[in-house]
C-alpha cells in the first residue's frame, strides 16, 4: 500500500511530464483502436482494398506507436532519475525503486486503456462516417464490436511490457549518483566534425539528385529510386543536425572578428549548446513533418483526381470489350447481342479499334524499335503504346493532323514528347505532331502509356503485321464499344456475371461507370483515410517532441537567464537573445521539411502517374494546401507548448 501511495503521489507531483506521456499514449490508443473497430466492422466484408489499406494503416500506426512510447517513456524516466537517485541515497534499494516505477507505469497503462476505450467509443462513429463518406458507401450504422478494443488493449499491454523492461534495465544498470545526475544530461552530443558535416551535405545532395533527375524516368523505376532517395535524405538529415550545424557554428566561433561581438558571442555559444541538446529531436521533427506532408498530399491528390480520371475512362456510361480476335466477328456480335436487342442508333455508341504495343519509351527526337525491344522488353523502360488510326482518334473529340502513309502523330502521358521520327523494325515514320493532351480512354488506366496515330486502317494493319513477324507473342486488334445504357437495357443484355455471353462462349467483358466509380472510391477513399490517420499521427509525434523540447529548454534557459544577467546583460537583452534562438531552433525543422518535400515532389508526381494523376496544377494545389495547413498546425502547436516554456522560465 505504501508503494502504491508513493507511486500515485509521484505521478501527481510530476504532472508536467506525466500528462503529455499519458495524452500521447491515449491518443495513439484511440487512433489504433478506431482503425481496428472499422477493420472488423461489417462494412469491410466486401471491401478487399479497404481491408488491405486498413490493415496496412494498423501495422504502421502500431510500429510508430511503439517508437513514440519508448521515446516518451525515456524522457519521462530522465526527468524522474534525480528522484529515483534520491530514494536510493535515502535507503531504498533498486528493487524497491523498480517496484515504484512499475506501479507508476501500471497506473498510466490502466488510465490509457480506460480513457482510450472511452474516447474510441465516442470518436469511432465519427471516423467511421468519414471513412464511409470517403468510400462512397451507404452503410451508416456501426454496430458495437469488442474485438477492436480487445486487440488494441493487448497490443498496448505488449508495448507497456517493453517499457517496463526498458525502465527496470535502466534502474538496474545505473548507480545512485548517475541516477541523481542523469536528468541533467542532454541527448547524444554531436561531434560537429568536418567529415560528418560533409557526409550530411553529400547524403542530402544524393537524395535530392535522385529526385530531381527522375523526371525522365518511368514511374515504376521511380519507386525504387524514391526509397533509395528517402534513405539518403534520412541519414543526411540526422547528420545535418548532429554534425553540420554544430560544425558550422564552431566555424563561426573560430572567426574572432565575427564571434567577439556582444550579440554574436552570446547567440553562437548558446546555439552550439542547444544543438548539442536537441539535434536528434529536431531531426525527428523534420522527418515526421515531411512524412505528414507526403502521406496527406499524395492520398488527397489521388482522391481528388478520381472523378476526373473516371470521366476520361468512360466517354459513355458503359464500356463493352469484345474478346474475339476477328474484328468482323466482333462487329457481328455487337449487332446481334447489343444493337438489335436494344435498338440503338449510331449516335448512342462509339466504336474503337486499337492495339497495344510494348515499345520503348520515347527519349529525344528518335524512337527506334528493334526485335529485341519487342521480345525482351525492360519493364522500367517500356511504354505501353496504343496504335490507332486517325478516324478512330477523332471519334473521341480529338483533331488529327493530315497524315500520309509514312507519317504519324504521337502522344506520351506527360505530354512532353519531342519525337521527329519512329522506326519500327527498320520501317521509319515521320512524326508530324506531338500532342500535349489527348482524349482517349485507355491511356487513363495504363501504366506509362503512349499513343501512335496513323493515317488509316491500312497503315494500322501494316504495322500490326510487321510487329507480328518478329514478336513471339502475337498482338491483335482490340475492339471496344462505349455506349450510353440505362439499367433496364443492361439487365436485358448482361449475364449473371455482369458480362455478355451465350450458351456456347464468352462474348464481351462489360464495365459500368457507376460500378467502377464505387470501386475506385473504395480504394482511393481508403487511401485518403489511411493518409489522414497517418498524417495526424506523425503531426502528433512531432507535437510531442516539440513539447518535450520546450520543457527541457525551459529548465536549461532558466539557468541561462540567471547567468547572463549576472554577467551584465539586461533582462530585455537576455529575453531577446533566447527568444531568437528558440524561434530558430523550433522553426528550422518545418523549413527543412518543406524543402525536402518540395524536392521529393518531382518523384511524387512521377509515382502519381501510376494511378493516372496527370493534372499537374491539381497536384501543386493539393501540396500547397497541405503545406499551408500543416504550417498552421505547427504554429498552433508551438504557441501552445511555448506556454510550458515561459511558465518554467518565470518561476
How does pLDDT run across 538-587, given as a tens digit for each residue? 888 888 888 777 777 676 666 666 666 666 666 666 666 666 667 777 78
Nearest to 156 by CA among 341, 260, 31, 15: 31
Summarize pLDDT for 147-181 with one digit per residue, the tens.
Answer: 889 999 999 999 999 999 988 887 777 665 555 55
Are the CB atoms for 318 and 512 separated by under 8 Å?
Answer: yes
328 conformational bin, left if phi > 0, alpha if psi -120 to 50, beta if neither: alpha
Kind and range of the H or E run holding 371: helix 371-375
Helix (H) or strand (E) holding 31: helix 15-39
Helix intervals (H) in 240-326: 245-254, 256-259, 262-313
Note the Cα 610 to chain centre separation in Å. Answer: 15
> Which run of H or E residues covers position 335?
none
Q: Are 241 and 275 in contact (CB under 8 A)?
A: yes
What's the average model confidence in pLDDT over 109-125?
A: 91
Summarised one tens digit per residue, pLDDT across range 254-297 is 666 655 565 655 566 666 666 666 777 888 888 888 989 998 99
Nearest alpha-carbon partner for 69 in 1, 196, 162, 187: 162
pLDDT of residue 464: 87
The dihedral formed by the CA atoms of 96, 99, 104 and 108, expressed in degrees to the nearest 10: 170
- Helix and strand element counts for the chain (H, E): 20, 11
Tell me what pLDDT residue 18 has. Answer: 83
pLDDT in tens, 487-522: 888 888 888 777 888 877 888 888 888 888 888 888
Distance in angstroms (rounded) separating the CA atoms of residues 593 and 627? 10
How far is it, in rounded angstroms, from Cα 9 to Cα 1? 12
Q: Tell me the three state secondary structure of residue 613.
A: coil
Give the start-to-end residue ranges of the domains of the chain: 1-185, 318-484
Among all chains, which residue has been given the C-alpha cell 466482333?
330
Q: Is the torsion defined by CA of 12, 75, 278, 630 positive or negative?
A: negative
pLDDT of residue 276: 67
What angle (nearest 5°) sits at the alpha carbon of residue 616, between those of residues 451 and 448?
A: 30
pLDDT number for residue 20: 82
Of 296, 241, 298, 301, which is closest to residue 539 (Cα–Cα)? 296
Strand duo 421-424 + 366-369: pairing = parallel
Average pLDDT of 88-100? 76
Query: How confident is the model over 392-417, as a mean pLDDT?
Result: 87
pLDDT band for 481, please (50, 70, 90 cuts).
confident
Strands laid side by side in the 366-369 sheet: 366-369, 421-424, 427-435, 407-412, 449-454, 382-389, 349-360, 478-483, 318-322, 506-512, 500-501
Decide if 301 contacts 618 (C-beta within 8 A).
yes
pTM score, two decimals? 0.79
* CA dist., res. 638 & res. 325, Å (int): 65
Amino acid at each position: 500500500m505504501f508503494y502504491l501511495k508513493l507511486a500515485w503521489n509521484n505521478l501527481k507531483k510530476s504532472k508536467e511530464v506525466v500528462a503529455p506521456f499519458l495524452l500521447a499514449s491515449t491518443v495513439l490508443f484511440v487512433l489504433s483502436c478506431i482503425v481496428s473497430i472499422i477493420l472488423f466492422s461489417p462494412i469491410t466484408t466486401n471491401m478487399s482494398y479497404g481491408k488491405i489499406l486498413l490493415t496496412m494503416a494498423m501495422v504502421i500506426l502500431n510500429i510508430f506507436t511503439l517508437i513514440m512510447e519508448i521515446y516518451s517513456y525515456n524522457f519521462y524516466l530522465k526527468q524522474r532519475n534525480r528522484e529515483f537517485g534520491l530514494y536510493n541515497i535515502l535507503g531504498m534499494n533498486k528493487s524497491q525503486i523498480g517496484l515504484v516505477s512499475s506501479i507508476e507505469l501500471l497506473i498510466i497503462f490502466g488510465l490509457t486503456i480506460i480513457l482510450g476505450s472511452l474516447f474510441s467509443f465516442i470518436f469511432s462513429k465519427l471516423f467511421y462516417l468519414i471513412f464511409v463518406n470517403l468510400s462512397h458507401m451507404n452503410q451508416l450504422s456501426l454496430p458495437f464490436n469488442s474485438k477492436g478494443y480487445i486487440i488494441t488493449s493487448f497490443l498496448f499491454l505488449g508495448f507497456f511490457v517493453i517499457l517496463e523492461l526498458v525502465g527496470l534495465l535502466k534502474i538496474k544498470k545505473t548507480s545512485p549518483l548517475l541516477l541523481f545526475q542523469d536528468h541533467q544530461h542532454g541527448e547524444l552530443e554531436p561531434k560537429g566534425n568536418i567529415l560528418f558535416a560533409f557526409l550530411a551535405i553529400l547524403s542530402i545532395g544524393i537524395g535530392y539528385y535522385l529526385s530531381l533527375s527522375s523526371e525522365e524516368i518511368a514511374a515504376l523505376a521511380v519507386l525504387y529510386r524514391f526509397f533509395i532517395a528517402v534513405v539518403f535524405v534520412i541519414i543526411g538529415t540526422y547528420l545535418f543536425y548532429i554534425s553540420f550545424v554544430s560544425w558550422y557554428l564552431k566555424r563561426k566561433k573560430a572567426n574572432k572578428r565575427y564571434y567577439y561581438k556582444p550579440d554574436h558571442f552570446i547567440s553562437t555559444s548558446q546555439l552550439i549548446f542547444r544543438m548539442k541538446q536537441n539535434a536528434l529531436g529536431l531531426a525527428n521533427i523534420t522527418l515526421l513533418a515531411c512524412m505528414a506532408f507526403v502521406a496527406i498530399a499524395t492520398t488527397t491528390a489521388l482522391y481528388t483526381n478520381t472523378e476526373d480520371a473516371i470521366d476520361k475512362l468512360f466517354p459513355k456510361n458503359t464500356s463493352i470489350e469484345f474478346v474475339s480476335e476477328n474484328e468482323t466477328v466482333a462487329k457481328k456480335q455487337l449487332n446481334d447481342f447489343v444493337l438489335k436487342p436494344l435498338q440503338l442508333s449510331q449516335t448512342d455508341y462509339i466504336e474503337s479499334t486499337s492495339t497495344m504495343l510494348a515499345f520503348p519509351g520515347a527519349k529525344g527526337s528518335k524512337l527506334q524499335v528493334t526485335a529485341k525491344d519487342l521480345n525482351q522488353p525492360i519493364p522500367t523502360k517500356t511504354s505501353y503504346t496504343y496504335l490507332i488510326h486517325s478516324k478512330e482518334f477523332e471519334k473521341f473529340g480529338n483533331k488529327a493532323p493530315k497524315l500520309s502513309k509514312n507519317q504519324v502523330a504521337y502522344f506520351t502521358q506527360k505530354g512532353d514528347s519531342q519525337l521527329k521520327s519512329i522506326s519500327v523494325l527498320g520501317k521509319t515514320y515521320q512524326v508530324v505532331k506531338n500532342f500535349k493532351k489527348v482524349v482517349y480512354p485507355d491511356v487513363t488506366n495504363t501504366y506509362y502509356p503512349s499513343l501512335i496515330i496513323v493515317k488509316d486502317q491500312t497503315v494500322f494493319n501494316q504495322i500490326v503485321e510487321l510487329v507480328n513477324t518478329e514478336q513471339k507473342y502475337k498482338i491483335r486488334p482490340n475492339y471496344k464499344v462505349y455506349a450510353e445504357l440505362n439499367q433496364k437495357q443492361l439487365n436485358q443484355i448482361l449475364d449473371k456475371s455482369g458480362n455478355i455471353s451465350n450458351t456456347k462462349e464468352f462474348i464481351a467483358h462489360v464495365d459500368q461507370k457507376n460500378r467502377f466509380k464505387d470501386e475506385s472510391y473504395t480504394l482511393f477513399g481508403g487511401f485518403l483515410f489511411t493518409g489522414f490517420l497517418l498524417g495526424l499521427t506523425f503531426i502528433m509525434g512531432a507535437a510531442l517532441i516539440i513539447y518535450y523540447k520546450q520543457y527541457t529548454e525551459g529548465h536549461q534557459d532558466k539557468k541561462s537567464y540567471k547567468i547572463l544577467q549576472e554577467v551584465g546583460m539586461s533582462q530585455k537583452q537576455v529575453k531577446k537573445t533566447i527568444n531568437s534562438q528558440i524561434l530558430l531552433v523550433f522553426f528550422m525543422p518545418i523549413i527543412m521539411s518543406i524543402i525536402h518535400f518540395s524536392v521529393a515532389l518531382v518523384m511524387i508526381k512521377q509515382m502519381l502517374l501510376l494511378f493516372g494523376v496527370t493534372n499537374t496544377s491539381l497536384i501543386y494545389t493539393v501540396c500547397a494546401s497541405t503545406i499551408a495547413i500543416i504550417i498552421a498546425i505547427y504554429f498552433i502547436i508551438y504557441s501552445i507548448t511555448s506556454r510550458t516554456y515561459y511558465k518554467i522560465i518565470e518561476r
